[in-house]
Amino acid sequence: MDQDRRAVAAAAVSTVLWASAFVVIRDAGRYFSPGALAEGRLLAGAAALLVYLGIRREGWPPKGAWPGIAVSGVLWFGGYMVVLNWGERLVDAGTAAMVVNIGPLLIALLGGWLLREGFPPRLMTGMAVSFAGALVVGFSTAESGAASILGIALCLVAAVTYAAGVVSQKPALKHGSALQVTTFGCVIGAVACLPFSGQLIDEVGKAPVSASLGVVYLGLFPTALAFYTWAYALSRTTAGKMGATTYVVPTLVVVMSWLFLGEVPGLLTLLGGALCLAGVAVARTRRRTPAVART
C-alpha cells in the first residue's frame, strides 16, 4: 500500500510540473526557437540527472533497457519537446495542453497493440469522441488562420510522440531503474537536438534573463524531476493507467495560463478540449462487473 501511495505521489508531482511546463514554454518561446528551447531544456535536465546518477552510483543501464531508452529518448525527450515548442508558438498553452492530452488514449491504443493490454470496446468509442473533439478544436481555431491550424496539427504530433515514448519506456523499466532510464533518455534527447545548439547559443545572448531562467526551470523541474518521478511511477503500474493520471493537466494549464499569461481559450475551443478529455476518460474506464448475490 505504501508503495502504491508513493507511485501516486510521484505521478502527481509529474502532472503538476508538466502543467507548469506548458505555461513556461509559451512564455520562453517568445525568445527561443523550438529546437533551441528543447536543447537548452534537455541540457539542463541531463546535467542535473547525471549528477544525481553519480551520487546514487547506479551506473550504466543493462543492455536490455537500451532499446526502450533510445526510442523514448529520440521520440519523447527529443521529438516531443521540439514539436510541442513549435506548436505553442501558434496556439495558446491551454489549447495545446488539451490537444496533447489525447496522448493517454494513444498510449492505451499502442499499449493494447505492443504491450498486449487488449482493445476494449470503450477504447474505440473513446477514440471517436476524442477525434470529434480535435475536429472541434481545429474548427474553433480556423478563424485565426492557417498558423493556428498548423499549431493544432503540431500538438497532435506531439501527442503521438508522447504516447510512443511512454510505451517504449515501459519495457526499459523492466531492466533498468527509473533514474537510469530517465537520465539516459534525456541524454539521448539532448544529443538528438545538438543541431540546434548553435541557435541556442545565439539566442541566449539576446534573450532576457527571465527567459533563460525559464529554460533552466524547464530542464530542472518539468524534465529532470518530473520525468524521473513519472518513470518511478510507471515502473510500478501499467502504461495505460499512468497515461490516465494526466487528465487534470489541461485544467491546471488553463488556470495557470489565465493567472500568469492572461490567456484563456475560446468557448468553442474549451468545448472541443472537453470532448478530447471525455474521449480519453471513456477509453480508460472499465465496465463494471455485476455484483453476484451471496447466499
pLDDT reading at 281 higher than 80: no
CA distances from residue 226 to 67, 199, 222, 234, 262 in whole angstroms, order as listed: 22, 26, 5, 12, 25
Mean pLDDT value across residues 119-147: 64
Q: How far apart are CA 37 and CA 22, in angstroms?
A: 13
The letter for the amino acid at 155 is C
pLDDT reading at 290 higher than 60: no
* pTM across the whole model: 0.81
208: alpha, beta or left? (left if phi > 0; alpha if psi -120 to 50)? beta
pLDDT at 257: 79
When mean pLDDT is compared across 11-25, 118-132, 153-167, the lowest value belongs to 118-132
pLDDT in tens, 98-109: 788 777 777 767
Render 155-184 in DSSP notation, one character per residue: HHHHHHHHHHHHHHHHHHTTTS-HHHHHHH
pLDDT at 38: 98
Mean pLDDT value across residues 8-17: 86
In which band, very low, low, confident or very high, does the pLDDT at 166 lie, cut at 50, 70 and 90?
confident
pLDDT at 113: 61
pLDDT at 161: 93
The letter for the amino acid at 40 is G
pLDDT reading at 9 higher than 80: yes
Share of the chain above pLDDT 90, in %: 46
Q: Are 161 and 154 in contact (CB under 8 A)?
A: no
pLDDT at 184: 98
Mean pLDDT value across residues 142-166: 80
Mean pLDDT value across residues 2-11: 74
In which band, very low, low, confident or very high, does the pLDDT at 139 lie, cut at 50, 70 and 90?
low
| Cα radius of gyration rounded to whole Å, the chain | 19
SS3 217: helix
CA distances from residue 200 to 27, 34, 35, 40, 185 in whole angstroms, order as listed: 16, 10, 8, 7, 21
Mean pLDDT value across residues 19-27: 93
Q: What angle do CA 77, 174, 76 make, to 5 degrees?
A: 10
pLDDT reading at 134 higher than 70: no
| pLDDT, mean over the chain | 82
When mean pLDDT is compared across 22-31, 191-200, 240-249, 255-264, the lowest value belongs to 240-249
Mean pLDDT value across residues 37-65: 96
- Burial of 121 (C-beta count, 10 Å sphere; 0-12/13-18/19+): exposed
68: alpha, beta or left? (left if phi > 0; alpha if psi -120 to 50)? alpha
In which band, very low, low, confident or very high, does the pLDDT at 125 lie, cut at 50, 70 and 90?
confident
Q: How far apart are CA 121 and CA 208, in angstroms?
A: 51
Mean pLDDT value across residues 144-168: 83
Dig out the grid coordinates for 61 from the structure: 543501464
What does the domain layout of the chain look like in residue ranges? 2-284
